[in-house]
């Protein structure tokens, strides 16, 4: 699966799961371990968990199982490592606390938007 297909499946799955405020960051120029960093908000710990499970299942069905899924029993944050992309699904409070978009020090990109890689330099 190429990067565009990976991104499309992530965005479609998150949309179907009703995740909110999906941000996609192309980190290929500054990261050695992934190309895309995706952050999405779930409305509750149950929603966060089920969204992570939906994402994991969608990639298993596409023949690209996640490299790893990290969460707790009542997660306010689920991480799904897809290799080319790392997806973080968080409650609103966890997202506000950790501010992952600031960690990468780049403007987030709304799902579906295209970015010119030269703008990242």
Mean pLDDT, range 31-53, rounded to an integer:
95
d(Cα 99, Cα 56) in Å, to the nearest integer? 23
Q: What is the mean pLDDT of the chain?
A: 89
For 3-104, CATH number out of 1.10.620.20, 3.40.50.720, 3.30.460.10, 2.60.40.10 equals 3.30.460.10
Mean pLDDT, range 5-9, rounded to an integer:
97
Residue 31's pLDDT band (cuts 50, 70, 90): confident
pLDDT at 84 over 90: yes
Mean pLDDT, range 53-69, rounded to an integer:
98
Domain boundaries, the chain: 3-104
Q: Are 51 and 78 in contact (CB under 8 A)?
A: yes
> pTM to 2 decimals?
0.84
pLDDT at 62 over 90: yes
Query: What stretches of the chain adopt beta strand conformation (E)?
Result: 20-26, 36-42, 68-70, 77-81, 85-91, 109-110
- Joined together, the tokens standing for residue 9 give 């499946």
Q: Are 60 and 111 in contact (CB under 8 A)?
A: no
pLDDT at 118 over 60: no
């Amino acid at each position: 699966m190429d990067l565009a297909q990976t991104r499309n499946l992530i965005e479609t799955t998150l949309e179907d799961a009703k995740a909110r405020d999906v941000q996609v960051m192309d980190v290929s120029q500054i990261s050695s371990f992934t190309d895309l960093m995706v952050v999405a908000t779930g409305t509750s710990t149950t929603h966060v968990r089920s969204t992570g499970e939906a994402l994991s299942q969608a990639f298993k069905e596409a023949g690209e199982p996640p490299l790893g899924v990290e969460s707790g029993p009542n997660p306010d944050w689920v991480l799904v490592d897809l290799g080319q992309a790392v997806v973080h699904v968080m409650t609103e409070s966890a997202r506000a606390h950790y501010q992952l978009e600031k960690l990468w020090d780049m403007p987030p990109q709304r799902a579906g938007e295209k970015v010119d890689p030269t703008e990242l330099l």
